[in-house]
Every structure is written in C-alpha cells, then in structure tokens.
Amino acid sequence: MNFDLDEDQQLLKAAAERFVADSGGGDLLLRRAARMEPGGFSATNWARLAESGVLGLAVSAENGGLGQGTVEIAIVMEALGRGLAPEPVLDVGIIAAGLIDSPENAAQHKSLLQDLIRGNTLVSIGHSEREARHSLSWVGTSARPDGETLRLDGCKIAVMAGGGAQHFVVSARLSGAPGDADGIGLFLVPAEATGLERHPYRLADGSLAAELTLRDVKIPAGSQLAGGFSTLKTVAATARLAAAAEMLGVMGLLFDNTLNYVKTRQQFGQPLGNFQVIQHRMTDAYVQLEQSRSHVMRAALAEGAAFAGAAAGAKAFVAEAALGLAHTAVQMHGGMGIADELAIGHGLKRIRVLALCFGDSASALDDYRCAA
Amino acid sequence: MDMSFSPADLAFRDEVRRFLADELPQRLRDGMNGTPSVFVEPEIGLEWQRILHARGWLATSWPVEAGGTGWSPVQRYIFEKECALADAPALSVLGLKLVGPVIARYGTPAQKARFLERILTGDDLWCQGYSEPGAGSDLANLKTRAVRQGDRYIINGSKIWTTHAHYADWMFCLARTDPDVKPQAGISFLLVPMKQKGITIRPIIGMAGDHEVNQVFLDDAEALVADRIGEEGQGWTIAKFLLENERGGSCAAPKLLADLQKLARLAASQPMAGSTLADDDAHGRRLARLRLEAEALETTELRILSDLAQGRSPGPQTSLVKLVASSLRQAVDELAVDSFGLDGLQLATERPLYGNESPEPIGSKPAQLAMPTYLNSRAWTIFGGSNEVQKNIIAKTVLGL
Ligand SMILES: Cc1cc2nc3c(=O)[nH]c(=O)nc-3n(C[C@H](O)[C@H](O)[C@H](O)COP(=O)(O)OP(=O)(O)OC[C@H]3O[C@@H](n4cnc5c(N)ncnc54)[C@H](O)[C@@H]3O)c2cc1C
C-alpha cells in the first residue's frame, strides 16, 4: 500500500499548481475581473488550460483527450479549488466533455469535442429541472422524433457556465415518465437554435449560469448523442469525485489562511490562537480536512463497480465537511470573514455551488448507501 | 405559573394587528422581504419609523419622559411579534436602541433636547464607532485618540465595520482621551458629526455584494466637548450600558418563528420529483427541530420579560439570548437556501432586490433572497460580541468558571 503520487502524477500536480499560480490564483481582483468577462471567466486562462490539455483531461485518447484516470482528475481539481479558479473545468472539461466522449460519438461529434478540448467552443450541460429538485432521473423535458429532426420542449435550470456556452448537452425524454431511468436521451443543441431561450444569471460563486427554455426546438436527428441515463450516471460519478476534490482544494486554502490568521491576529495582547476555544475549532477543522482528503483518495482509487458509490459517498462527506470548515473560517476571521475582500467568503460561495453538483448531500448519500 | 396573555394584552394585540393592517404599506413589506442584508436600508426603514412615530409607537425601549411608549415588557413583545408576522421593516437600532437610551440615561438636559427628538423623527441618522482594526473583541484596546483643544476634541484614528456610516449624520464614538491610565479608564463617549472634512468613509462590500459596513478614517476630525456624553473617562461604563442593551432586551424569537412558518408553508410549493418538499421527512424534521429551538428561545425571552414586568432584575438567561438567537438565525437562513434547491444558488449582483428596478428572479423572489440572506447572516455570530465572547462571558459571570 502506498498513497504517494507517482512521478507523472507529481508532475501533473506541479503543472496544475503552476497554472494556478501563473493565472493569478488567489488574486481576488483578477478573479473579479475574470467574472466580468463575457462567459464569466478569463478567456486567456481558458486558452492556457486548453493548451495544457486540461479540458480533455478525462477524455479518451481516441477522441483527442489525455485519457487520464480518476487520481489525475482529483489532483487537477484540487489544485484548481485551492486557487479558487473561476474557469469551468468541472462543468465543461469533465461533465460536458464526458457526456460526448464515447466511441459511438467519435464519428459524428469528434470535431465538436476537439473544439471543446482546444477551448474554441464552450459546451455545457442542461440537465437539472426545477421539478426534479435533486433527483437525477427526473427529466420532464421531451424529445419527439419528427422525420429527420427532433423537437425538444422543456425547461432546464442551473446550467453551469451556460451563460456563455455555444452548445448545450440537453437531457430529454424520448419515452416514459419523469423519474424513469429508461427513455432519457442526450442531445446537442446549439445556443442559437430557434426556440431556445437563454436567461443568464449569476450564481453564488459569481459564475454565469443560465436557465434554458426550449419551445419546440428543432434539431437534426444526428444531434442525439450515444447513451442515456447510464451515461449520465457514469459522468455524474466522475463529476462528484471532481467536485469533492475541488472542495478539498478550497478547504485547504481556507484552512491555511485561517490558521495563519489566528496565529497572527492579536486580541487581548496575544494571538487568537492562544485561546483554547480557537485551538479546538482549528483542530476540528483540521480533522475534517484530513478526513475529506482520505475520502477523495478512496473515491479516486475505487475501481469498477465500486467507483460510483465511493464518489457519491466522498461528495456527500466532503460537502458537509467543507461547509462546516468554511463557516468556521468565516467565524475565526471575525468581521474580516464577511468582507468580499478576502478569499474566505469566496471559498464558502464556491463550496455552496460545488455541494449541489449532481444532487445535494442527501441524494449523494442515498446513492452511496444504495450502492453498498 | 401561567403562560397566557391577560385580556388587556390580547386587546393590545388586536389593536396592533389593526394598526399594521391599516398603516403598513405593501411597498414597505416588500422592501423588508426584499432585503437580504442584516440591516434595512433607510429608504425602507425610515418611512416605517415615521409612521410609527406618528402613532407614538416608536421608542419602545425609551423612558416615557424621553418619548418612550411606556409599554410593559409583554406589550413590547406582542408588538415585536405582530410586526414580524406582518413583515414590518426592521428599524435601525443605531439611534433607537443604542445611542437613544444612552443619551436618555447619561445626557444633559441640553443634549436630550438636541438629539432625542431628531432620533425619533429620523432627521438624524447614527452610526456606531466602537470597533477598530486592532480592537474588535478586545474593545478596550481601542486606539482612536481624542485630544482636547479649547471647546472641542481633535480626533485621530480609524473605526471599522461601521454599519451605515455612509448614511449617518452622527457617529457615537469611543475615543481615548487619556492614554496614561488603565485602558478602560481613559475612554470617552463622543458624538461626532459625520459630514466634516476630517472624516473619510471607505465602503466595505460584504460577501453577498451588499454595502452595509465601512471603514471610517478620522483625521483631525472634530467633536465639541459639549457633545461628550457623561464625564471624560466614563466612556467604558456607558459603552457597556449600551452593549447590554444591544445584546439583551431584544425579542428575536418572533421573527425566527415567523420565518420558520414561512419556510414550512413554502415547502409545499417546492417540487420534488413528483411530490413536494413538504413530503420530505428529513426536511420536515429539520424544520421541526429549529422550531423547537425557537420556541424555547421565545419562552426564555418571555421569562426575562416576566421578570422585568415584576420589577425583578432578569436572571442569567439574558446572556444566552444573543448566543442562541444568532446561531438560530443562521440555521434558519441556511435551511432557506437549501429549501430552494438549485434556485437557492442564485446570487444577483444588482441592488436593491425590491422595487420596480430589481432584477428578475430565477424561480421566485424568495429564492432570489435566500443566498444573499444566508451569506450576510454569517455576521450574526460576529457582531455585537461574537459567540465565542458571549460564551466566555457566560462561563465567567454566570457559571463562575
Ligand atoms: C455586519 C457587521 C456589522 C458591524 N457593525 C458594527 C458597527 O456598526 N459598529 C462597530 O463598532 N462595530 C461593528 N461591527 C464589528 C463587530 O462588533 C466586531 O466584528 C466584533 O466585535 C468582532 O471583532 P473583530 O471583527 O475584530 O474580530 P476578532 O476580535 O479579531 O475575533 C476573531 C475571532 O476570534 C474570536 N475571539 C476573539 N477573542 C477571543 C477570545 N478571547 N476567546 C475566544 N475567541 C476569541 C472571535 O470570536 C472571532 O471568532 C460589525 C461587524 C459586522 C460583521
């Protein structure tokens, strides 16, 4: 048994950390400026991520990606989390790319996937619906075949990075009723499709999401991607691991900043860290951080059939731990903790968003216990 | 033992209800419900304040001779409860609950005449200049220096987290007038005009994007000696009187219970894969658990009021009210965020979130308010004495540890 990273993994980690450092990771002014760019993140950094291959990190080599495994995904996502990177690597590089990446899609959609990986086209996923709450299989949006075309109707919410996307992967129902696992299809819809109305809005982390209304949106039959609910579940498992790893990175940042703060901030003639209450709270935070790290490792190392359950469990565990740690970090900073000038609040807000990636903690916990 | 209200109390309750139904404009209710920050903007709060003042129902915590309502503690409680249920704007505490009672208690007749009425009319808005960059929990460490020069003080230093300094006409300010005695003894309580050359205000934006607090720089700012409250060096005693008012004497449970009731009602409108959130046992239990806690707080608050009503000084329960109320506030606001599912993640950057110009919400207006309210709510356990500090006080003064 050995939990050390191998040489390639160490290089990857160093490269990811270098990216974060070079792209202004931790600089909140740059981050704010990036949020004001059209898609809600820095186009320059997106191009750099594309250049380094990160947008195709998990995409198979046949489809032009790096074909990396779960450990590598966790390494990169943790580094991005630690840098509070505003770029939607999770939503586009892991989730959207993951949904398109299959041998069956290679012939028809390889060029789109390559555009995505090269950073030329932004694709995001429209899956969640208001009626579903956090249920993965609750798809009410319909897809009706009509000759050589398909017609889509429905509404999608919280389409991550959807404010600036050029394409959406939309889940819609070909048959059955909402809640059925069978009958769900995945469809590529260009943002400018007639009948598609996009309402961009900001999430807590400052990212630009969208609500999509589809009214009789006509797309060619060839826009249907291979796979259905099982593809969604596979990608959701990877995304949950990635979200957990990113939260772990944010936790590390908040923890280190807070530890440093209580060591340097003086009240009553001594550092805050001299007070036993503070020592215990920091100790609790440290325990949560290490336990979360262990869960991310477990999930990243889980194989085959065990992976989905482990990823769901890791996400449920880490989300709760991360929120608790972020609340502690705010509290330990006193007034400073609530100011937007510090990374602390930004970390809390990012964690809030990540915590709902493919379901809340309860639904992730359900998937975890049902997998056992 | 009897938990019921007297017939006179019930008649009073009905009178308050009628008044709220007739006199509280919908625009102000919407303003209150559309406010995610801890403190309500003067635009909303002041109008309500003037309506209350016209009715003589404003200064619930002031002595009668200073313009107070003369209500019994139970009447105050009933009033707060009905206001919470009617979505009445929360009034700014700075003048009414903080400096007002201080001036009424420690001010000279001239000071009372000059300041109290203008607090009630809202002609003067106030801010609280206690905290400094180096003096938060350790308030006695404050460094702002006031040097006497003829009939005035020349003040230098900086205050931080000053709520609504950008609206204020006056600041009640703790400043060090004597650096050579023990820290608590050298502090004076000064009233400082905000609109003067020596004062600069730097906005501090909170993590939800709201502008509530500021850093205030005093560079040779001036205050009249005649505007000092109490004696030179008496500032700490006065500051403590004020902090006790800030921490105790409040009625937090009514608003918490009203908000929980709203959340319970709202659950039925939140779809959940074929049913609604109201059918979710986990959610129901979370709500019930919080309601239990809020009910306990309500009774604790009523126990304090009952002591006061019978002329007894309230017991040690006062110390735990702020502690319980602030944590509960955060738990309720967190539950609200979770109630809206993915819609709870939205965080509009525009302000205000009420009125015709407010941004279009995703899902619903309450969903739009949830995230910023939750984020701002993290401040409840920090200001007015953090929870850690409250616990230290309870451990020391109540438990004798
Ligand atoms: C929204 C908001 C509005 C405010 N409005 C005003 C205002 O209008 N006027 C004003 O004067 N001030 C205001 N404040 C300031 C507020 O009173 C201070 O933030 C508070 O006193 C804490 O001080 P601090 O921020 O310096 O934190 P610190 O004192 O540095 O505390 C940091 C952390 O250490 C903990 N800590 C400190 N000492 C101890 C100890 N001995 N034992 C254990 N733990 C300890 C604290 O609990 C906290 O968690 C406001 C604050 C906020 C957040």
Looking at the domain assignment, is residue A1 inside a domain?
A: no
Mean pLDDT of chain B: 94
Q: Convert the pLDDT of each residue in B146-163 to its tens digit.
A: 999 999 999 999 999 999
**Which chain B residues are Cβ-neighbours of A345 within 8 angstroms?**
206-207, 375
B229 close to B111: Cβ distance less than 8 angstroms: yes
Looking at the domain assignment, is residue A79 inside a domain?
A: yes
DSSP string, B128-195: EE--BTTBSS-GGG---EEEEETTEEEEEEEEES-TTTTT-SEEEEEEES-TTS-GGGGEEEEEEESS
Domain(s) of CATH 2.40.110.10: residues in chain B: 126-233
Instruction: Tell me: cis bond preceding B352? Omega within 30 of 0 counts.
Output: yes
As to burial, measured by CB atoms within 10 angstroms (0-12 exposed, 13-18 middle, 19+ buried), residue B138 is middle
Q: Convert the pLDDT of each residue in A121-152 to its tens digit.
A: 999 999 999 999 999 999 999 999 999 999 99
Residue B249 has pLDDT above 80, yes or no: no
Adjacent-strand bridge partners of B205: B211
Adjacent-strand bridge partners of A266: A271
Domain(s) of CATH 1.20.140.10: residues in chain B: 251-397
User: Per-residue confidence at A285, pLDDT binned at 50, 70, 90?
Assistant: very high
pLDDT of amino acid B380 = 96
- Under CATH, which architecture does the B251-397 domain have? Up-down Bundle (1.20)
B76 close to B5: Cβ distance less than 8 angstroms: no
Looking at the domain assignment, is residue A2 inside a domain?
A: no
Alpha-carbon distance B394 to B398, whole Å? 5
Looking at the domain assignment, is residue A340 inside a domain?
A: yes
Q: Convert the pLDDT of each residue in A47-87 to its tens digit.
A: 999 999 999 999 999 999 999 999 999 999 999 999 999 99
Mean pLDDT score, B309-338: 89
Q: What percent of chain B has pLDDT over 70?
A: 99
Residue A207 has pLDDT above 60, yes or no: yes
Residue A24 has pLDDT above 90, yes or no: no
Q: What percent of chain B has pLDDT over 90?
A: 86
Q: Convert the pLDDT of each residue in B174-200 to its tens digit.
A: 999 999 999 999 999 999 999 999 999
Higher pLDDT residue, A149 or B308? A149
Give, as one character, the DSSP assignment of residue B384. T
pLDDT of amino acid B340 = 98
Q: Does domain B126-233 have CATH number 2.40.110.10?
A: yes
A157, amino acid identity: I
How many residues belong to chain A? 372
Co-location of A281 and A355 in the same domain: yes
Write down which residue in A181, A209, A227 finishes a domain: A227
Say if the Cβ atoms of A360 and B273 lie within 8 Å: no
pLDDT of amino acid B246 = 63
pLDDT of amino acid A340 = 96
How are beta strands B211-224 and B152-160 bridged, if at all? antiparallel
Alpha-carbon distance B97 to B118, whole Å? 14
What is the 3-class SS of chain A, one letter each residue?
CCCCCCHHHHHHHHHHHHHHHHCCCCCHHHHHHHHCCCCCCCHHHHHHHHHCCHHHCCCCHHHCCCCCCHHHHHHHHHHHHHCCCCCCHHHHHHHHHHHHCCHHHHHHHHHHHHHHHCCCCCEEEECCCHHHCCCCCCCCCEEEEECCEEEEEEEEEEECCCCCCCEEEEEEECCCCCCCCCCEEEEEEECCCCCEEEEEEEECCCCEEEEEEEEEEEEEHHHEECCCHHHHHHHHHHHHHHHHHHHHHHHHHHHHHHHHHHHHCEECCEEHHHCHHHHHHHHHHHHHHHHHHHHHHHHHHCCCCHHHHHHHHHHHHHHHHHHHHHHHHHHHCCHHHHECCCHHHHHHHHHHHHCCCCCCHHHHHHHHHHHC
Mutate to test the interface with A, among B207, B215, B216 (most CBs of A within 10 A): B207
- The ligand 1 site (C-beta within 6 Å) comprises A 265, 267-268, 272, 275, 277-278, 331-332, 334-335, 338; B 38, 127-131, 136-137, 161-163, 212-213, 379, 382-384, 386, 388-389, 392
As to burial, measured by CB atoms within 10 angstroms (0-12 exposed, 13-18 middle, 19+ buried), residue B393 is middle
Specify the CATH number for the domain of residue A82.
1.10.540.10
Residue B382 has pLDDT above 60, yes or no: yes
Q: Which among B282, B337, B363 has CB closest to A362?
A: B282
Looking at the domain assignment, is residue A164 inside a domain?
A: yes
Specify the CATH number for the domain of residue A294.
1.20.140.10
A91 close to A83: Cβ distance less than 8 angstroms: no
Looking at the domain assignment, is residue A40 inside a domain?
A: yes
Question: B232: helix, coil or strand?
Answer: coil
Residue B348 has pLDDT above 90, yes or no: yes
Co-location of A239 and A360 in the same domain: yes
Looking at the domain assignment, is residue A156 inside a domain?
A: yes
Mean pLDDT score, B25-48: 96
Q: What percent of chain A has pLDDT over 70?
A: 100
pLDDT of amino acid B316 = 73
Count other C-beta atoms under 10 Å from residue B236's C-beta: 20
Co-location of A365 and A286 in the same domain: yes
Co-location of A51 and A85 in the same domain: yes
List the 184-223 stretch of B: residues with Cβ below 8 A of A. 204-207, 209, 213
pLDDT of amino acid A118 = 97
Residue B248 has pLDDT above 60, yes or no: no
In this prediction the pTM is: 0.98
Alpha-carbon distance A74 to A299, whole Å? 9
B194 close to B171: Cβ distance less than 8 angstroms: yes
Write down which residue in A166, A201, A227 finishes a domain: A227
Cα–chain center distance at A257: 23
Looking at the domain assignment, is residue A57 inside a domain?
A: yes
Mean pLDDT score, B31-59: 96
User: Per-residue confidence at B243, pLDDT binned at 50, 70, 90?
Assistant: confident
pLDDT of amino acid A338 = 97
Nearest-CA distance B133 → chain A (Å): 10
pLDDT of amino acid B63 = 85
Residue A18 has pLDDT above 80, yes or no: yes
Interchain contact B379–A (C-beta under 8 A): yes
Mean pLDDT score, B319-347: 96
B246 counts as catalytic: yes
Co-location of A367 and A235 in the same domain: yes
Co-location of A234 and A365 in the same domain: yes
ipTM of the complex as predicted: 0.97
Co-location of A238 and A350 in the same domain: yes
Alpha-carbon distance B124 to B117, whole Å? 9
Count other C-beta atoms under 10 Å from residue B283's C-beta: 21
Q: Which residues contact A126 (CB under 8 A, 6 or more apart)?
A: A156, A159, A162, A168, A169, A170, A171, A189, A212
Q: Convert the pLDDT of each residue in B201-228 to its tens digit.
A: 999 999 999 999 999 999 999 999 999 9
Q: Convert the pLDDT of each residue in B72-110 to its tens digit.
A: 888 999 999 999 999 999 999 999 999 999 999 999 999
In ligand 1, which atom is closest to the CA atom of B163?
8
Specify the CATH number for the domain of residue A137.
2.40.110.10
Co-location of A127 and A99 in the same domain: no
Mean pLDDT of chain A: 96
How are beta strands B228-229 and B187-193 bridged, if at all? antiparallel
Q: Convert the pLDDT of each residue in A240-264 to its tens digit.
A: 999 999 999 999 999 999 999 999 9
Measured by CA distance, the residue closest to atom 44 of ligand 1 is B388
Co-location of A223 and A237 in the same domain: no
Domain carrying residue A147: 123-227
Question: B213 CA distance to ligand 1 centroid (A)?
Answer: 13
Number of domains in chain A: 3
Co-location of A238 and A367 in the same domain: yes
Question: A15 CA distance to ligand 1 centroid (A)?
Answer: 40
Region of poorest pLDDT, from A320-329, B315-324, B387-396 = B315-324
Write down which residue in A90, A117, A144 finishes a domain: A117
Adjacent-strand bridge partners of A172: A185
How are beta strands A167-173 and A184-190 bridged, if at all? antiparallel
Alpha-carbon distance B155 to B169, whole Å? 17
Size of interface A-B (CB pairs under 8 A): 129
pLDDT of amino acid B307 = 83
Co-location of A237 and A281 in the same domain: yes
Measured by CA distance, the residue closest to atom 16 of ligand 1 is B383
Residue B314 has pLDDT above 90, yes or no: no
Nearest-CA distance A313 → chain B (Å): 18
